């Protein structure tokens, strides 16, 4: 493992940035913004487009194959919602271009680099904490793993603290950060994210919250509009609303308690000093978030029996 506060030093230029999913894009955009690197071409899609536009705009470089071929170094995310980043790594390997992949979480490391049975590993992997570094080194012992300071988390926590001045009274404000469950939870009667929501609603009393509370549901950037409308209608006894905040920092600044399964938004909430609650149901794979201060709702339910 290498701890490197300036990851771009020594990389062959120009850089090519290829990203789709939000997690790695948040990390990479923050690292670039903290640097003086401007020789960057980008091929961005999905949530990564708006993230880079706000944090560190990069020039569109044309076709993916041409962007990779012209680059000295390729840096990609490792998301699930698209094969774009995987395709870029394939192109880099064919063109003998050094590739770096950013891993933003603690799940499915091997699977991130496979599509249709074919695995394409990068030359290096960048992570943002010691837990991910250890996991990456164990999973890929022959790949260089670089641990970087989490500039995105620092920026988010600072932004939330700045917004707290506007949200003086957060009592009874519960933010539920949603995510599609992609891990193998076995045969399920409903998608895992809805099972976790049901479990949360059924065990609200265990959290010691005031009777008069407002719950905001914040969909994951990869989820379709309207996905949770029926669930909201089916729970008229709860004061529910969809979160319409402009950003995650605003959503967390409004909240007193943040609930979810294992989305990275939970990590941001904990960094900002919020009470964090994991809603994964009993019998499912345990939460992969390594933060010990995260409250496990299933454990509270067991202890209350």
pLDDT band at 170 (very low <50, low <70, confident <90, very high): confident
Q: What is the predicted pLDDT for the residue at 59?
A: 86
For residue range 17-32, what is the model confidence (pLDDT) as tens digits? 999 999 999 999 999 9
Q: What is the predicted pLDDT for the residue at 160?
A: 95
For residue range 207-252, what is the model confidence (pLDDT) as tens digits? 988 778 999 999 998 899 999 999 999 999 999 999 998 889 999 9
The Cα-based distances of 203 to 102, 103, 192, 199, 304 in angstroms read 36, 33, 17, 6, 11
Rg of the chain over Cα atoms, rounded to whole angstroms, equals 20
Q: What is the predicted pLDDT for the residue at 273?
A: 94
* Res 5 pLDDT > 70: no
Of 254, 241, 248, 246, the C-alpha closest to 267 is 248
- Tell me which residue has tokens 């991130």: 112
Give the DSSP per-residue string, the chain: -EE-S-TTTTPPSSEEEEE-SHHHHHHHHHHHHHS----EEEEE-THHHHHHHHH---EE-SSHHHHHHH-SEEEE---SS-SHHHHHHHHHHHTT-EEEEE--SSS-TTGGGEETTEE---SEEEESSHHHHHHHHHH-TTSEEEE---HHHHHHHHHHHHHTTT----TTEEEEE-----S---S-SS-HHHHHHHHHHHTGGGGT--SS-EEEEE--TTSPTTTTHHHHHT-TTS-EEE---SSHHHHHHH-SEEEESS-HHHHHHHHTT-EEEE-PPTTSPPP----TT-EEHHHHHHHH-
Of 207, 216, 215, 231, the C-alpha closest to 303 is 207
Q: Which pTM was predicted?
A: 0.85
For the segment 59-78, the average pLDDT, to the nearest whole number, is 94
Q: What is the predicted pLDDT for the residue at 257?
A: 96
What does pLDDT average to over the chain?
Answer: 92
* Res 4 pLDDT > 60: no
Q: Which of the residue ranges 90-94, 165-169, 265-269, 292-296 would you say has the lowest mean pLDDT? A: 165-169
For the segment 160-185, the average pLDDT, to the nearest whole number, is 85
* Res 75 pLDDT > 50: yes
For the segment 67-84, the average pLDDT, to the nearest whole number, is 94
Contact between residue 89 and residue 97 where contact means Cβ atoms under 8 Å apart: no
* Res 185 pLDDT > 50: yes
Q: What is the predicted pLDDT for the residue at 221?
A: 84
Full set of structural domains in the chain with CATH: 2-149 (3.40.50.10260), 154-304 (3.40.50)
């Amino acid at each position: 493992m290498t701890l490197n506060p300036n990851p771009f030093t020594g990389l062959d230029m120009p850089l090519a940035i290829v990203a789709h999913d939000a997690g790695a894009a948040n990390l990479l955009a923050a690292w670039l913004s903290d640097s003086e690197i401007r020789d960057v071409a980008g091929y961005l899609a999905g949530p990564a487009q708006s993230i880079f536009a706000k944090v560190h705009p990069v020039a569109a470089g044309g076709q993916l194959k041409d962007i990779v071929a012209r680059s000295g170094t390729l840096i990609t995310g490792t998301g699930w919602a698209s094969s774009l980043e995987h395709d870029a790594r394939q192109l880099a390997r064919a063109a003998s271009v050094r590739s770096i992949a950013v891993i933003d979480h603690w799940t499915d490391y091997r699977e991130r680099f496979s599509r249709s049975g074919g695995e394409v590993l990068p030359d290096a992997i960048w992570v943002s904490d010691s837990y991910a570094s250890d996991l990456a080194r164990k999973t890929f012992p022959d790949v260089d793993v670089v641990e970087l300071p989490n500039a995105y988390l620092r920026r988010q926590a600072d932004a939330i603290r700045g917004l707290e001045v506007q949200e003086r009274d957060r009592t009874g404000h519960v933010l539920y950060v949603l995510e599609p469950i992609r891990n193998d939870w076995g045969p399920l009667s409903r998608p895992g994210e809805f099972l976790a929501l049901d479990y949360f609603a059924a065990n609200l009393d265990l959290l010691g919250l005031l009777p008069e509370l407002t719950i905001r549901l914040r969909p994951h950037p990869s989820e379709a509009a309207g996905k949770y409308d029926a669930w909201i209608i089916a729970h008229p006894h709860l004061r529910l609303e969809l979160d319409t905040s402009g950003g995650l920092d605003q959503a967390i600044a409004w909240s007193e308690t943040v609930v979810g399964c294992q989305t990275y938004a939970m990590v941001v909430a904990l960094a900002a000093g919020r009470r964090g609650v994991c809603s994964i149901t009993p019998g499912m794979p345990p939460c992969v978030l390594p933060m010990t201060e995260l409250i496990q709702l299933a454990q509270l339910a067991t202890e209350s029996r």
